[in-house]
Structure 1
């Protein structure tokens, strides 16, 4: 359903960021993040921007990877792909 949700799930897993921490940083209910990751609901445009902003606080590469996956591809990012 959601390319943003797939990208977010991949980034959270690849960079070891849990959904609850992201939700707290974004100041949204953790159920929202769970819905995005499980592709039952698409994040709004504002939420996508806020996801990127929150990810930057944890790891700038995670934020950059999220944007790349969301805008350009949906491939899984592995350990070797991060440098």
Structure 2
């Protein structure tokens, strides 16, 4: 458990994106993001895709890095 949370925490820190910005971009409560980063909850597969999409709207480099860290490649194969 925690792969998404670890990747997300690192991305937010390295790209200067705060939890509230991401929550707004995802249209969710900030507490969900906080729990993912604290690794008390793991995001669903759907939420991981939503994280990537929200990061894309905030910073394309952050989205690419999240994808690389989480999936082990630069872009998600669709």
TM-score (norm 1): 0.84
Structure 1: distance between partners of 2:72 and 2:25: 25
Query: In the alignment, which residue of structure 1 is the partner of 2:14?
Result: 14
Q: How many residues align?
A: 73
Structure 1: distance between partners of 2:42 and 2:48: 9
Structure 2: distance between partners of 1:40 and 1:49: 19
Query: In the alignment, which residue of structure 1 is the partner of 2:45?
Result: 45
Structure 1: distance between partners of 2:52 and 2:35: 17
TM-score (norm 2): 0.89
Q: Which has the higher contact order (CA 8 A, sep 6+)?
A: 1
Moved over 4 A (4+): none
Gaps of 5+ in 1: 74-83
Gaps of 5+ in 2: 74-78
Aligned CA RMSD, in angstroms, stands at 1.2
CA offsets per residue over residues 19-55 of structure 1, 9 Å max, x none?
Answer: 0110011011100000001111000011000000000
Once the 2 structures are TM-superposed, how far is the Cα of residue 71 of structure 1 from its aligned partner?
A: 1.4
Query: In the alignment, which residue of structure 1 is the partner of 2:23?
Result: 23
Once the 2 structures are TM-superposed, how far is the Cα of residue 72 of structure 1 from its aligned partner?
A: 2.0
